[in-house]
C-alpha cells in the first residue's frame, strides 16, 4: 500500500526511515532535505528531453519518452531504493509529489516494500522551511572580536546541553575574508536554508538559543530576514579577550593554510586596510612572518567590529571577561548569566 503524508508526518518519520529524493541530480544539488538519498527517476539529461517533449507534444508523448529513457535503468534504481529501506519502508518525494514519486512508489510497492509519499513534494518542504523562519525565537547572541574563539565557545555550550545554531558551520564559511579557507564544498543558498530549518526543527524554540554574532551575509549566504531581525534585537553576550590571545587563536585557525591562499585572502581586504598596510602584510606573509601579517589584519577587523558594537544599546550588552580562560570556562560562565526569563 502507498501512503501519502503531510509534511509534518513525513518529517516525523524521516527520523526513522530513509528519505529518497527521485528528482534529477541538479535539482538535488541545488537543495534537498538533509539526509535524503538521491535516486533520480530521470537524470538531468533525461529530464530535459522529457520536458521538451511535454512542451511541444503534450503529456502522453512525454510519458512514453520518459519510460523509453528510464526503462533500461529501472532495475538498478529499484535496487538502490530497496538497499536504503528500513524495516521494509521508505519515504519518497519529487518536486510536486507528482508522476516521478508516484512511479517510484509504485515500483517499491510492486517489489513488496511500503512507500510513504510526501504530499506536495519538495515544494511543500520549502514552504515549511520559510514558515519556520517566521517563528519567534529566544535568541542570545555570542559576541566578541575576531579571534575570540566564538565557534569553539559555541561547541562547548552545545556539549554542555545548551541549544546552539552554528550559522558559520551551516554556511561553511567563517565570515571574514579568510573565512572560506578549509571549506572546499559550500552549500547553495537553498541548502543553507534547508540545513538551518533542520537544526531549528531539533531545537526547543521556547528556550533560549545561542547564535554567533554575524552580519546578514556569511560569505555569500544570506540569513533569512525574520531570523536576522530577531538577531539584531537579541541580547549580546560580549566575550572580551586580549589582542594577543585573539592573535594566538587566529594563528591556530589559519596559519596551516597554503601561503598563496593566505595572500589572496589578505588582498581581498586590501582597499579597507589601505595600500601601505596591505603591502606590508603581504611582505610579512612572503617572509614567513605570519603573526605580524595577521596582526595587521586583526587591527582592521577590530576597528570594523568596534564600529558595529557602537550601534548596540548598552542595556542589551553583557560583557564577559574571557582573559586567560579556557573555552570551557567561558561557556560555563555564559550559562550562569541571568538575563530575562
Give the per-residue pLDDT at 185: 80
Instruction: Calculate ∠ Cα 15-118-104, nearest 5°.
Output: 105
Q: How far apart are the first and last CA of the chain?
A: 49
Instruction: Say if domain 3-130 classifies as CATH 3.40.50.880.
Output: no
The residue-averaged pLDDT of 133-141 equals 96
CATH 3.40.250.10 range(s) for the chain read 3-130
Give, as one character, the DSSP assignment of residue 83.
Answer: H
- The whole-angstrom separation of Cα 78 and Cα 107 is 7
Q: What are phi and psi of 145, to 5 degrees?
A: -65, 165
Q: What are phi and psi of 209, to 5 degrees?
A: -125, 125
Sign of the Cα torsion 113, 66, 73, 48 reads negative
Is 60 exceeded by the pLDDT of residue 341? no
Residue range 1-27, pLDDT digits in tens:
778 999 999 999 999 999 999 999 999
The residue-averaged pLDDT of 319-324 equals 96
Residue range 228-270, pLDDT digits in tens:
999 999 999 999 999 999 999 999 999 999 999 999 989 988 8
Residue range 262-309, pLDDT digits in tens:
999 899 888 788 888 889 999 999 999 999 999 999 998 898 888 777
- The whole-angstrom separation of Cα 180 and Cα 186 is 9
Query: Is 100 assigned a catalytic role?
Result: no
Whole-model pTM above 0.75? yes
Q: Report, at the CATH architecture level, how domain 135-336 is classified.
A: 3-Layer(aba) Sandwich (3.40)
Residue range 306-318, pLDDT digits in tens:
877 767 777 788 9
Catalytic residue among 94, 108, 137, 231: 94
The residue-averaged pLDDT of 107-123 equals 95
Is 80 exceeded by the pLDDT of residue 71? no
The residue-averaged pLDDT of 215-222 equals 92
CATH 3.40.50 range(s) for the chain read 135-336
Amino acid at each position: 500500500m502507498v501512503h501519502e503524508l503531510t509534511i509534518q508526518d513525513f518529517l516525523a518519520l524521516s527520523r526513522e526511515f530513509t528519505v529518497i529524493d527521485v528528482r534529477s541530480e541538479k535539482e538535488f544539488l541545488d537543495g534537498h532535505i538533509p539526509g535524503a538519498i538521491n535516486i533520480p527517476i530521470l537524470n538531468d539529461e533525461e529530464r530535459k528531453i522529457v520536458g521538451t517533449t511535454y512542451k511541444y507534444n503534450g503529456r502522453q508523448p512525454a510519458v512514453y519518452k520518459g519510460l523509453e529513457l528510464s526503462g533500461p535503468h529501472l532495475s538498478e534504481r529499484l535496487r538502490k531504493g530497496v538497499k536504503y529501506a528500513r524495516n521494509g519502508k521508505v519515504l519518497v518525494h519529487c518536486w510536486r509529489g507528482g508522476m516521478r514519486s508516484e512511479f517510484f512508489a509504485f515500483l517499491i510497492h510492486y517489489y513488496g516494500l511500503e512507500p510513504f509519499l510526501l504530499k506536495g513534494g519538495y515544494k511543500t518542504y520549502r514552504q515549511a522551511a520559510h514558515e519556520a523562519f517566521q517563528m519567534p525565537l529566544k535568541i542570545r547572541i555570542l559576541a566578541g572580536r575576531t579571534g575570540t574563539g566564538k565557534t569553539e565557545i559555541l561547541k562547548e555550550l552545545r556539549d554542555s546541553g545548551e541549544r546552539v545554531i552554528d550559522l558559520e558551520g551551516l554556511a561553511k564559511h567563517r565570515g571574514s575574508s579568510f573565512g572560506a579557507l578549509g571549506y572546499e564544498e559550500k552549500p547553495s543558498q537553498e541548502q543553507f536554508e534547508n540545513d538551518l530549518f533542520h537544526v531549528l526543527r531539533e531545537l526547543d524554540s521556547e528556550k533560549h538559543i545561542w547564535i554567533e554574532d554575524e552580519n546578514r551575509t556569511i560569505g555569500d549566504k544570506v540569513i533569512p530576514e525574520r531570523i536576522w531581525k530577531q538577531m539584531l534585537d537579541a541580547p549580546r553576550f560580549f566575550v572580551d579577550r586580549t589582542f594577543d590571545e585573539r592573535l594566538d587563536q587566529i594563528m591556530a585557525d589559519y596559519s596551516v593554510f597554503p601561503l598563496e591562499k593566505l595572500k589572496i585572502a589578505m588582498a581581498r581586504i586590501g582597499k579597507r586596510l589601505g595600500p601601505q598596510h596591505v603591502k606590508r602584510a603581504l611582505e610579512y606573509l612572503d617572509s614567513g612572518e605570519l603573526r605580524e601579517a595577521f596582526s595587521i589584519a586583526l587591527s582592521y577587523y577590530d576597528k570594523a567590529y568596534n564600529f558595529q558594537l557602537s550601534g548596540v544599546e548598552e542595556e542589551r550588552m553583557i560583557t564577559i571577561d574571557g582573559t586567560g580562560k579556557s573555552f570551557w570556562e567561558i561557556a560555563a560562565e555564559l550559562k550562569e548569566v541571568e538575563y530575562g526569563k
